Structure 1
Amino acid sequence: MVSIPRPHLVARGAEEIKGKDIWLDNDDLRPLKLKDRTWTATTYFIFWFSATATVSNWYGASAAQALGLSMWESLACSLGGQCLIAIVITLNGRAGAVYHVGFPILNRAAFGVYGAWWPTFNRAVMAIVWNGVNAVQGGQCVYVMLHAIFPSIAHIKNTMGPGSALTAAGMIGFGVFWIVTCCFLVIPVPKMKSLVYAKLIMFVISAMAMLGWTVGKAGGLGPVASQGSTVHGTEKSWLIIRFLMLGAANCATFASNASDFQRYAPKPRDPILGNLVGFPIANLLVAIVGNIVGASSQIIFGELVWNPIDFLDMLQTSNYTAANRAGCFFIALMFVYCAIFSSIFENSLPAGNDLAALFPKYITIRKGFFICAVISFAINPWYLLGSASIFVSFLASYQIFLSSITGVLLCNYYLITRGYMKISDLYTSSKTGAYHYTKGWHINAYVAYVVGVIPNFYGFLNNMGVSAPEGVTKFYYFAYWVGLLVAGATYWILCKINPPAIMYTKGWKEPKNYVRPEEEAQVLEGEAADAEGLSDGQVEEKVVSTEVITGLKG
């Protein structure tokens, strides 16, 4: 056995978070403990297949068909856009995988300990709205289940008015779904890994069942796949560009909050393969199913039914036999399960992180989950899904704010601080803290954020109904990338002119894998145990590796 001197086991670069600033800190916001870093590389690869296996992704896939593209053109646009955004997801989630903190804390590094409140609030709004949208889809699934059991539910007088995606009967399903989802929110996130796998299995079974059923009723895959586009020439070209860019933009929330779920990785490299390969492939497979099912509806009913849940209920209603009702019930049940965990991982988790960061004295991540649930009910999300055009407008609009924030975060981490964050200063309002900037606000970041939004703002207003020239509309198709690049470039220039407290011009300063100071002894003892039986030279090499666990790379 080789004895290792105790002084060699002190990890260099460790920064203890001394005390608590009740307005900036609670334990949920600090770097994750070792025991909570449970998502392996396999988990992340499967996570994307599970996360993208949602009814909303069917919507996005078939919305292009609703506006005139063929099935194959729609698929190509979806895949191309998601390959692009997968790169942004990987890059922006890197800090979370290394330091094991979420999106709100990364905002503090760039925007300041108080300045982070606005971008965090922005993303919280998006997550809450999406949570409501997902709950509408889940409610539609529950309605199909109830319709299969109680035929009379279809005859309830509709009092919802025009523009609503839910009828009065559908609102019953929404209420049931909302209550069931709230029940699942009590489960700790690190313990949900098995539920991620279960969700994927559920979706595959339900999707294949509906795919086989609809293609069979449409007379096989040939008639479905051979349908061409209904637009041509310049109109078609611009529609392809629009949905290629939208394929990336509708994942703007994933790109901005990538660190929220990558923080659960034991090692920084664990999420990479899942992001770059799993994310686009998973989206492609879901898009294939969504497009084929959508195209089948054109043959079966003579119209494109872009909402698969509406399509499922139409199949049930048109032939209300016991077998059809049972099939619709179980397919819808599996869709409900998928929708529940989409709400949790894609919306409740980000919103919970954000709300906890906005009001750490009063709100934990768990409380944030339930606040998100209540607000997402209150915003009447059923009016967002009234038609394909409304839904596409919704997807395309909020991206300009998130892309500008993401541009600042990427530039700050990779070009300004070169991978280094002083963890202790992220949780203090002390004027000597590196992230205090100007009274807690980083002016450089805010100017860059606004400059990144400005080129796209006219297009944003146009997308929301304000009249604008055609050129503005087409320019807005590129809004996500324009906001990302303009904000990032502006931030880099401003930091060159007015350097922040932490700014490096040479070298890469990122630690190998950040460990909370109180857990360093646990890691170092493990390293020491692994060193038993090694030669003196091997021990010295092991000690060097240990010393940079929480320090800077040499």
Structure 2
Amino acid sequence: MPSSFLTLRDALQVKSVDQDGNLRPVEALDNDSIRPTRAKERTWTSVTYMFFWFSATANVSNLYAASTGMTMGLTMWESIACAFGGQFLAGCLMAFNGRAGAVYRIPFPVLCRASFGHWGALWPTFNRAVMSIVWNGVNTVQGAQCLYVLLHAIFPSIENIPDKMGAKSALTSAQMMCFLVYWLINCAFLVIPVPKMKSLVYVKVFVYYAGALAMVGWVVALANGSPEALRSSSTVRGEEKSWVICRFFFLGLASCATFISNAADLQRYTRKPSDVILGQIVSFPLSGLLVAVLGNIIAASSKSVFGELIWNPLVFLDKLMAGERYTSGNRAACAFIALAFTYSTVFSAIFENSIPAGNDIAALWPRYLTVKRGFFICAVLSYAICPWYLLATASVFVNFLSSYQIFLSAITGILLCDYYVLRRGYLDIPSLYTANPDGIYRFYRGFNLRAFGAYVIAVAPNVYGFLHQMGVKAPTGIDRFYFVAYPVGLLIAFAIFFLACLLWAPKGIELSTEWREPKDYWDEYDPDREVVIQSVEVPEVVEIVHE
């Protein structure tokens, strides 16, 4: 083998250290990036998580999603209620599914190994990575639109650039240039370590809501203080309306599918497991409710101002500078609002997409990939998938939101069953990082066939509906059944996996009523572990080590 190749290989290999700071052997399933979070990096408190969810939901895509119900005939308040109900369920599921991350400080890809096997976990990890990459591309499109409005307010000639993108694209040629600039800005912020982003979370909350509230006040004033759409009745009736409400209620849940699955990635930074509860169950749905109200008021005002419902607030913002409206006052207002949205979109992309994708990509090839390298791979791939075709119309965006849920719901159902019912909160963490043939997570050559069987059975009932979302003709019943695809997939996966493990029990599964979760877990390579162990009494040392 040429020496130059060996040199390159050694340079690319991930360097990992032990608790004493010495280099340790690089493993196929292990590196420092996906090890349990070390004590010095467990800095997120309950206040951080409360602010985090107000920050995470503070993005333009949630303004989009909140107002799409109005385009399907619901009133503003019905659309808001559907979004809130679905997001409340999502917050509860996040609290449950992220528990293992909060207790053991492990990311989602490592948690999957307990259910799917060492090598089997690569599939749900890859599946979720794809979704995170797509969502990162969507957020980048929105960031480009925000940046375009900002530049349009400063340089009027930008709107004169000939458009070569076509009607199927959400971006014009001028906005595509903004896409590249925004993408480079996003990449620049990826070098900041995640535990040090707390202050950026707080700043983002202030900046986003300042911009959103300013826009609401402005457009309501343009609508003479009382937009007609706020008082308008629903345009759908009877059974049709019931199904539309059902669709958007569960769409509020399905749109949070990545949040639910990647809950462990975010909760691993907590000081103690209880710090995340209020943030997940209270702050998340409340923040979603606030954004839904703002998004729907903006959309409702557009009908009074322009005579048509504009579901995209960025298109609305740019139209406020069209023709005779291109005044210095309007330009200044649009510039400041667009700047606030641009800043908030950068960190939405990082927290919601780059962090989960980085964890997933690092777990796919730990010997050569770290979480930070995963960040940049995600950034490159999110550009390559041409995400500007996903946001061209409201119907395309709604189909996108609902299409990927069937895969993530099945994974979530399996993880919940495994952690709470089968293992009763106990995970053998060292065994998750080695492919030892005698390990309890080895299953059949590294694959847990029970989990894959449950996954396939849970996905199967929703495949026809999924194909219908992609353009295949299907009966009305299939279309409506797909509205409840997320809870159906989750519950079927949960039940089938439990039944399979009950009839064909794998190693390490002992059904018990005793809750086996440790009071405190310390990673064997955490340098602070020895300090804490030496500071407590001997009986407590035994408890910590063996739990």
The question of a shared fold, defined as TM-score above 0.5 by the shorter chain, is answered with yes
Shift of residue 520, structure 1, vs aligned partner = 2.5
1:508 counterpart (515, 520, 524): 515
C-alpha separation between the residues in 2 aligned to 1:329 and 1:280? 30
Shift of residue 498, structure 1, vs aligned partner = 1.1
Deviations 1:266-304 (A, max 9, x none): 101110111000010000000000000000001100111
2:154 counterpart (135, 149, 157): 149
Q: Find the counterpart in structure 2 of residue 5 from structure 1.
A: none
The answer on 1:521 being equivalent to 2:530 is yes
Q: Find the counterpart in structure 2 of residue 497 from structure 1.
A: 503
Q: Find the counterpart in structure 2 of residue 336 from structure 1.
A: 342
2:272 counterpart (267, 270, 290): 267
Shift of residue 84, structure 1, vs aligned partner = 1.1
Q: Output aligned runs, 1:362-401, within 5 Å.
A: 362-401=368-407
Q: Is the 8 A contact 2:49 2:276 kept in 1?
A: yes
Q: Is the 8 A contact 2:228 2:300 kept in 1?
A: no
Q: Is the 8 A contact 1:165 1:382 kept in 2?
A: yes
Shift of residue 524, structure 1, vs aligned partner = 2.9
Deviations 1:182-209 (A, max 9, x none): 0000000000010001000001100110
1:416 counterpart (406, 418, 422): 422
Q: Find the counterpart in structure 1 of residue 94 from structure 2.
A: 89
Q: Is the 8 A contact 1:21 1:427 kept in 2?
A: no
Q: Find the counterpart in structure 2 of residue 290 from structure 1.
A: 295
C-alpha separation between the residues in 1 aligned to 2:447 and 2:457? 17
Q: Is the 8 A contact 2:424 2:516 kept in 1?
A: yes
1:482 counterpart (459, 475, 488): 488
Q: Find the counterpart in structure 1 of residue 33 from structure 2.
A: 28
Shift of residue 521, structure 1, vs aligned partner = 2.1
C-alpha separation between the residues in 1 aligned to 2:291 and 2:51? 14
The answer on 1:458 being equivalent to 2:467 is no
C-alpha separation between the residues in 1 aligned to 2:282 and 2:540? 30
C-alpha separation between the residues in 2 aligned to 1:237 and 1:509? 43
Shift of residue 548, structure 1, vs aligned partner = 3.6
Letter paired with 1:132: G
The answer on 1:468 being equivalent to 2:477 is no
Q: Find the counterpart in structure 2 of residue 56 from structure 1.
A: 61
Deviations 1:314-350 (A, max 9, x none): 0122400111111111110010010000000000000
C-alpha separation between the residues in 1 aligned to 2:364 and 2:204? 31
Q: Find the counterpart in structure 2 of residue 128 from structure 1.
A: 133
Q: Find the counterpart in structure 2 of residue 236 from structure 1.
A: 241
Q: Is the 8 A contact 2:57 2:288 kept in 1?
A: yes
Shift of residue 68, structure 1, vs aligned partner = 1.0
Q: Is the 8 A contact 1:400 1:480 kept in 2?
A: yes
Other structure's SS at 2:205 match: helix
Q: Is the 8 A contact 1:20 1:26 kept in 2?
A: no
Shift of residue 149, structure 1, vs aligned partner = 1.1
C-alpha separation between the residues in 2 aligned to 1:116 and 1:303? 48
Q: How high is the TM-score relative to the length of structure 1?
A: 0.92
Deviations 1:496-519 (A, max 9, x none): 111111113221111112111343
Q: Output aligned runs, 1:524-535, within 5 Å.
A: 524-527=533-536
The answer on 1:406 being equivalent to 2:415 is no
Q: Is the 8 A contact 1:98 1:263 kept in 2?
A: yes
Other structure's SS at 1:128 match: helix
Q: Find the counterpart in structure 1 of residue 9 from structure 2.
A: none
Shift of residue 450, structure 1, vs aligned partner = 0.5
Percentage of pairs with the same residue: 56
Shift of residue 547, structure 1, vs aligned partner = 4.8
Deviations 1:61-98 (A, max 9, x none): 00001111110000110111111111111100000000
- Name the count of aligned residue pairs: 521
Answer with 438-447 or 213-222: which moved more: 213-222
Q: Is the 8 A contact 1:512 1:550 kept in 2?
A: no
Letter paired with 2:508: I
Q: Output aligned runs, 1:158-237, within 5 Å.
A: 158-221=163-226, 223-237=228-242
Q: Is the 8 A contact 1:54 1:342 kept in 2?
A: yes
